[in-house]
Structure 1
Amino acid sequence: MIEFKDVNKTYPNGVTALKNINLTIDQGEFVAIIGLSGAGKSTLIRCINRMHDINEGTLMVNGVDVGKLRGKQVRSFRRKIGMIFQSFNLVTRTSVINNVLISTVPDLAWWRKGLGLFPQEKKVDALEALDKVGILDKAYNRVDQLSGGQQQRVALARTIAQHPDIILADEPVASLDPVTAKVVMDDFKKINKETNMSILINIHHVELALEYADRVIGIRQGEIVYDGKSEEVSQEVLNQIYGSVENIPKADDPEEADI
């Protein structure tokens, strides 16, 4: 369970990204976070794994007060939270399976990682994760030989192999074409249903958010202005989130940087 209680976040430059956030997300929910660029979508999910610190309030994740974690406690905590980025964050000059394995054994000596000397059980885990996202046949290909959609599926497999409780995804399909984006979103939905992992996706495209998420959270200027079932999102709700019909992103609109 993730609980935000009166959470505020202001950056050193004075920009207030989150204002009095109160939010509870139960285990196994698939949640899409939508809103204008700069609304605070990325900040919201990045506070969950302590990529950003909050200034006020309390953020609890599975009973852990995230703000009180220090040093090794933060690193240990993050191992139960997978993070997927728009840019994939893969090592492109090595194999797909090595990219998945690197995240599964954080305490392994660096030279073992470099030489690919991973425990056999971890290799099995990695292959099973690649199978779940449909790219087992690419396990021994170099990452730079893969398409963008395949690379994002490698990133998802890498996260699955960690066996996290929560997956956070920051614009995971932003750089993909519409067809490939739907394939990747299908994988997210499948993993959510099969494993009961909580999945929170900061997503630009409203159509994908409504199609795949069970719950939608709308943010405007750092405040939650909608929190409810995806099927209950109306045009009036979207206008409240985006200000006007003209501001609602279309499927082929380019993404802009969020905070």
Structure 2
Amino acid sequence: MIKFSNVEKKYPNGLLALNDINLTIEKGEYVAVIGLSGAGKSTFIRCINRMHDITDGTLIVNDVEVAGLKGKEVRQFRRNIGMIFQSFNLVTRTTVLKNVLVSFVPDLPFWRKIFGLFTKEQKMQALSALDQVGILDKAYTRVDQLSGGQQQRVALARTLAQNPDIILADEPVASLDPVTAGQVMDDFKKINQEMNITVIMNIHHVDLALAYADRIIGIRKGEVVFDGKSSMVNQSVLDHIYGRAQSIEVRKEGAKMNHV
């Protein structure tokens, strides 16, 4: 469970990125966070794994008060939270399998880290994660030989190898073509449903958010202005989240993706 209580995030330059956030996300939910660029979407999800510190209020994740964590406690806390980025964050000149095995490095004894030695169990777990996202056959292929969609699946497999309770995704399909984006979104949905992993996704494409997520959180100027089921989102809701002119543009962009 993730619980925001009166959470505020203010940057040193005075920018109020999040203001008075109050909501609860239960285990196993699939949540899409939508809103204009700069609205606070990325800040919202990055506070959950302590990439950003909150400046007021309380944030509880799996019974842990996030703001109170220090040093090794933060690293241990993050082991249960996977993070997927738009840029994939892969080492492209090495194999897919080695990129997935990176998820185990924090738990290795020093001597294994030095020599890059992983246990048989870790290798099997990495291969299993690749199988779950449908690219087991690419295990020994160099990452730079893969398509963008395949690279995003490697990043997802690396996260799955951690055996996380929560997956945070920051614009995971923004750089992908429409067909590939749909395939990657299928992977997230499958993982959410079959493994009961909570998925919280910051996403620019509203139509994909509505098609895949069960719950939509709309953020505008650092405040939650909508929180409800995907089926409740209509043009009036989008106008409220984006402003009327912007919401029309967002819908047009979604229509182009669906046409492709």
User: What TM-score do you get using the length of structure 1 for normalisation?
Assistant: 0.95
1:150 CA drift (Å): 0.4
Q: Secondary structure at the match of 1:251?
A: helix
1:142 CA drift (Å): 0.7
Instruction: Confirm or deny: 8 A CA contact 1:5 1:22 kept in the other structure.
Output: yes
Q: Which residue of the partner structure matches residue 181 of structure 1?
A: 181
d(CA) in 1 for partners of 2:44 and 2:111? 36
- Going from structure 1 to structure 2, the CA distance change for 1:246 and 1:144 (only over 3 Å counts) comes to same
Instruction: Confirm or deny: 8 A CA contact 1:98 1:116 kept in the other structure.
Output: no
Q: Which residue of the partner structure matches residue 234 of structure 2?
A: 234
d(CA) in 1 for partners of 2:107 and 2:180? 34
Specify the code of the residue in structure 2 equivalent to 1:71: G
Q: Secondary structure at the match of 2:107?
A: coil
Instruction: Confirm or deny: 8 A CA contact 1:130 1:157 kept in the other structure.
Output: yes
1:140 CA drift (Å): 0.4
Paired positions, count: 254
After TM superposition, list the pairs within 5 Å mapping 1:102-251 onto structure 2.
102-109=102-109, 112-113=112-113, 115-247=115-247, 248-249=249-250, 250-251=253-254
1:20 CA drift (Å): 0.1
Q: Secondary structure at the match of 1:104?
A: helix
Q: Secondary structure at the match of 1:14?
A: coil
**1:164-219 deviation per Cα after TM superposition (whole angstroms, max 9, x unaligned):** 00000000000000100000000000000011000000000000000000000000
Specify the code of the residue in structure 2 equivalent to 1:40: G
Specify the code of the residue in structure 1 equivalent to 2:122: K
Q: Which residue of the partner structure matches residue 26 of structure 1?
A: 26
1:115 CA drift (Å): 4.7
- Going from structure 1 to structure 2, the CA distance change for 1:17 and 1:252 (only over 3 Å counts) comes to farther
1:252 CA drift (Å): 8.2
Instruction: Confirm or deny: 8 A CA contact 1:102 1:113 kept in the other structure.
Output: no
Specify the code of the residue in structure 1 equivalent to 2:84: I
1:105 CA drift (Å): 3.7
**1:218-244 deviation per Cα after TM superposition (whole angstroms, max 9, x unaligned):** 000000000000011011000000011
d(CA) in 1 for partners of 2:180 and 2:15? 35
- Going from structure 1 to structure 2, the CA distance change for 1:92 and 1:114 (only over 3 Å counts) comes to farther
d(CA) in 1 for partners of 2:20 and 2:73? 26
d(CA) in 1 for partners of 2:12 and 2:45? 19
The share of aligned pairs that are identical, in percent, is 70
**1:75-117 deviation per Cα after TM superposition (whole angstroms, max 9, x unaligned):** 0000000000000001111110111011124132566357542
Gaps of 5+ in 1: 254-259
Gaps of 5+ in 2: none
Specify the code of the residue in structure 2 equivalent to 1:145: Q
Q: Secondary structure at the match of 1:12?
A: coil
Q: Does 1:7 align with 2:7?
A: yes
